[in-house]
Amino acid sequence: MPIASDLGIQIGQTAALVAALYLASTIAQPTAGKAAEVFGPRRVFISGIAMVALGTVFGGFGQSLWMLILSRVVIGLGTSCAYPTAMLIIQRRARDAGMAKAPGGVLGGLMIAGIATASLGLPLGGVLVNALTWRAVFFVNVPVAVIAFIAAVAWIEPDPRRAQRMSAHQIASKLDVLGILGFVGAMLTLLIFLFGLPTAHWWVLGLSAAFWAVLVLWELRANTPFLDVRLLAANPGLANTYLRFGLTQLCVYVVLYGVTQWIESVRGFSESAAGLLLLPMTLVSGLIITPLSRRSLVRGPVIAAAATCLLGSVGVLLLGSTVWIGTVVILTLMFGLAIGFSTAGNQTALTQHAPADQLGTASGLLRTFGYAGSIGASAATGLVFHHNVTNHGVHQIAWIMTAVSLVLAALTLADRTLRPARR
């Protein structure tokens, strides 16, 4: 990896850059949503843009691994402000226009933007590194942040001013700072355990379980809980939405991580070529999201997502050293359908089940479950490909994906909130 050779560190150490971004984003998504509910989405969104600009400049000039890790954390915190604040801004505009809920087409555009940036980042990053240096991957975000800042100031309506200033104690209570800290501790220890595999540090997992238990007990008593446990228990539709989205993302990211490694190591493709093979996922998902979102469909899309995940996972078992490379393209198309169906259906389900006054936090939690799925995929591929990448290994991850897809299908079909109401 260019970063490792340039900074004079081992390649394995650069995995900390991925872990740092995951950790920051997983925690910051619902936190940004909660902050947007308290301070206003425009303020939080602009603050996020500023953090992205600061993190990219700091990373671009970074001279050590720790500087790059800090940069990735700041970037993760900044980018996490985008989705939950966007949901609140769309909700506010719809309410001001006298609409009961946001138009599906607008939500579809938001979904497509998120998928496009995530999917195109891998091949675009490879092109920048090959054409320039790894520092270009950081610096390219500076003009993007400037454009985003100008657009936000010009087009987003200012947040309403509060009648009175809140004290530090009131702010801490409304944000549920202790709940956020408990969530940080629980997620941090869980990630340390997962990224430490195949060496299992069971005491770390036990510490994570203790954090989760304390967090649940605290949130049951909090006046404005960060993680509304009572809401999730009383609202199975919302809880199932999170689980469906997380399981689908786990399968998709196993393809992005595991199958991509197999394409490069076993089939001998370059990083850029492997990235281009994944482009069909983005194209097909974008094509189906808009029509599904406009019709505000839930049941059909989430069932289709489970079915395509299962078919695609079984299809990964066909991969081998002599298999036609077009098979890989067909599989990426299959998982592109899964992304589109899952994103459209679960996004619509979120707006139907989440309380209006908690939409920011609820939207952030949806992304957190998505990141949890990607983290699980990273841990699974790291465990299977710990020593080397082989055909046997890609078949092992295919069986993991198949098992996850079966759980996803069972969860989807058993969800009573998806069934049509009887007359």
Asked whether 312 and 251 are in contact (CB, 8 A), the reply is: yes
Continuous segment of H or E residues that includes residue 257: none
Statement: residue 9 has pLDDT above 80: no
Per-residue pLDDT tens over the stretch 160-195: 876 567 777 777 888 888 888 898 898 888 878 877
What per-residue confidence (pLDDT) applies to 123? 60
Residues 260 and 413: their CA atoms lie apart, in Å, by 31
* Predicted TM-score (pTM) above 0.85: no
- pLDDT for 406: 96
Angle at 301 between CA 296 and CA 307, to 5 degrees: 175
Q: How many CB atoms lie within 10 A of CB 380?
A: 22
What does the pLDDT read at residue 46? 94
C-alpha–C-alpha distance, residues 35 and 77, integer Å: 12
> Per-residue pLDDT for 111 more than 80?
no
pLDDT above 60 for 259: yes
What integer best gives the mean pLDDT of the chain? Answer: 83
Predicted pLDDT of residue 164: 66
Residues 6+ apart with CB under 8 A from 7: 63, 64, 65, 68
Phi, psi of 89 (to 5 degrees): -65, -45
More confident residue, 203 or 387: 203
Give the per-residue pLDDT at 165: 76
Most confidently predicted of 56-65, 278-287, 336-345? 336-345
User: What are all long-range contacts of 127-132, with beta carbons under 8 Å and residues at least 24 apart?
Assistant: 127/272, 129/2, 130/271, 130/272
Q: Which of 343, 344, 311 is nearest to 330 (CA)?
A: 311
Which are the contacts of 385, defined by CB distance < 8 A and separation ≥ 6?
258, 261, 393
pLDDT surpasses 80 at 286: no
Summarize pLDDT for 45-80 with one digit per residue, the tens: 999 999 999 999 988 888 888 888 899 889 989 988
- Across the range 298-308, mean pLDDT stands at 92
**Quick count: other Cβ atoms within 10 Å of Cβ 49?**
23
Whether residue 423 has pLDDT greater than 50: no
Q: What is the pLDDT of residue 302?
A: 93
Least confident of 184-193, 241-250, 275-284, 404-413: 275-284
Displacement of CA 308 from its chain's centroid (Å): 20
Whether 152 has a pLDDT exceeding 80, the answer reads yes
Name the pLDDT band for 250 (thresholds 50, 70, 90): very high
Q: What is the pLDDT of residue 1?
A: 55
